[in-house]
């Protein structure tokens, strides 16, 4: 029995080595997609096109390899979301020889001249792909999407619009390696109604330059309207409750500590028309996102401070309200620093998903003489299913509110 040679074509025949070309020339049987077989139409080898019926292709290869030299042509790299893994499992590692090549994703990022070491790669082939895609969209800033004929770039753009995940640039790379190769960035609204040549690949980068939204901020804005990192944003429904707990008035001074994306500050600015907001964040990448959101929504009464808490607070004006969205192991000292600066009758609101932080927050504020209450928010969002819709649970969040005692 002859081993089956599985050869990665890269972007086309131009990427094949002399060794790979020689193996193809010596083939008795060539197996591959129609596009790949067309490159070798002059070959006298018997040709078998790969169809959706992969089991039929596997049976064909098993039968032919008994007496013939079989070569399988794979797009890109055989073991990168390719047929290489399927054939290796079906035939056994001892019965295959694999020749790697440039993957579609590596070629795509070379074309747009961007690094891809931290890129999340999602294939839209398979039953669980949409859930994996949505999880990646919530968490990642850079995503490469391998499309299929039904879930194409237009479908992806419509999905992003439907889910209010509008803070993405979308690049579609069509027919990479061919004479009709086309690469372009599109607004989501434009891509949603276009037709694209196959095969194609999509690159998504968080931080849309042309986000078409109202510049006037308001309460309850979709999460996707904000530039944010890896899903680190107080979700829309939780923002609404947290801001209500702050009991904001037009002339208030508010501190937003561990501001993240600045979403709380942006929406709070609607209610603090004559006051001032100070958003404090230690992460430089998130600072850039806060600045982007401030500019996007034209917020004038907001200052951004890059500092590791509780540092950076001593020079700020005393707050009427404090929101703490991040503190980690320093939560206790942050609460103490905020409480020491808080005006009489002030309010501190803390969001946490950790039981340990919940205990620290409540205990610390009680020790400082605050009257506290705790609310748990559990949001379930609708998620489409093939025959209907189900509710998908989000992480529960505790909202701890502390009211300073009246000292008058």
C-alpha distances out from residue 177 to 34, 75, 123, 303, Å: 16, 11, 20, 48
DSSP string, 57-117: HHHHHHHHTTTS-EEEEESB-TTSSSHHHHHHHHH-GGGEEEE----HHHHHHHHHT---T
Q: What is the pLDDT along the chain (408 residues), one digit of tens a residue?
A: 789 999 999 998 999 999 999 999 999 999 999 999 999 999 999 999 998 889 999 999 999 999 999 999 999 999 998 899 999 999 999 999 999 999 999 999 999 999 999 899 999 876 667 888 888 887 787 899 999 888 999 999 999 888 878 778 899 999 998 889 999 999 888 999 999 998 899 999 886 544 455 567 888 888 878 877 666 788 889 999 999 999 999 999 999 999 999 999 999 999 999 999 999 999 998 898 899 889 889 999 999 999 999 998 999 999 999 999 977 889 999 999 999 999 999 999 999 999 999 999 999 999 999 999 999 999 887 776 667 788 888 889 999 999 997 654
Phi then psi for residue 263, to 5 deg, are -60, -40
C-alpha distances out from residue 255 to 317, 350, 372, Å: 9, 12, 19
Cα 376 to chain centroid, rounded: 26
C-alpha distances out from residue 237 to 19, 140, 240, 297, 367, Å: 59, 21, 5, 19, 30
Pairwise CA distance, residues 120 & 116, whole Å = 9
Domains and CATH numbers, the chain: 4-102 (3.40.1010.10), 106-206 (3.30.950.10), 223-403 (3.40.50.150)
């Amino acid at each position: 029995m002859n081993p089956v040679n599985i050869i990665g074509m890269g972007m086309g025949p131009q990427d094949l080595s002399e060794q790979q070309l020689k193996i193809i020339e010596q083939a008795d049987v060539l197996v591959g997609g129609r596009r790949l077989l067309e490159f070798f139409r002059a070959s006298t080898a018997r040709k078998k096109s790969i169809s959706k019926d992969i089991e039929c292709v596997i049976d064909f290869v098993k039968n032919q390899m008994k007496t013939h030299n079989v070569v399988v042509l794979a797009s890109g790299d055989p073991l990168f979301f390719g047929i290489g893994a399927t054939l290796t499992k079906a035939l056994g590692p001892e019965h295959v020889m694999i020749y790697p090549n440039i993957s579609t994703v590596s070629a795509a990022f070379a074309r747009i001249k961007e690094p891809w070491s931290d890129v999340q790669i999602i294939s839209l082939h398979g039953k669980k792909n949409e859930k994996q895609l949505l999880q990646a969209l919530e968490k990642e800033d850079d995503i490469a999407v391998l499309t299929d004929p039904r879930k194409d770039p237009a479908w992806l753009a419509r999905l992003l619009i439907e889910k209010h995940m509008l803070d993405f640039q979308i690049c579609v790379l069509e027919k990479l390696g061919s004479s009709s190769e086309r690469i372009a960035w599109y607004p989501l609204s434009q891509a949603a109604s276009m037709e694209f040549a196959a095969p194609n690949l999509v690159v998504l980068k968080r931080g849309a330059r042309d986000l078409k939204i109202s510049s006037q901020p308001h309460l309850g804005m979709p999460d996707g309207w904000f530039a944010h990192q890896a899903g680190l944003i107080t979700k829309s429904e939780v923002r609404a409750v947290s801001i209500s707990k702050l009991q904001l008035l037009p002339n208030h001074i508010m501190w937003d500590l561990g501001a993240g994306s600045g979403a709380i500050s942006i929406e709070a600015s609607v209610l603090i028309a004559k006051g001032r907001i100070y958003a404090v964040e230690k992460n430089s990448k998130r600072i850039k996102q806060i600045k982007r959101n401030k500019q996007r929504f034209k917020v004038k009464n907001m200052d951004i401070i890059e500092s590791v808490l509780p540092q950076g607070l001593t020079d700020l004006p005393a707050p009427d309200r404090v929101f703490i969205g991040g503190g980690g192991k320093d939560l206790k000292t942050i609460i103490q620093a905020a409480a020491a600066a808080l005006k009489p009758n002030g309010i501190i609101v803390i969001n946490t998903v950790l039981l340990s932080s919940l205990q620290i927050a409540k205990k610390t504020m009680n020790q400082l003489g605050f009257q506290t209450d705790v609310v748990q928010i559990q949001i379930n969002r609708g998620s489409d299913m093939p025959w209907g819709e189900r509710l998908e649970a989000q992480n529960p969040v505790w909202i701890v509110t502390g009211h300073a005692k009246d000292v008058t």
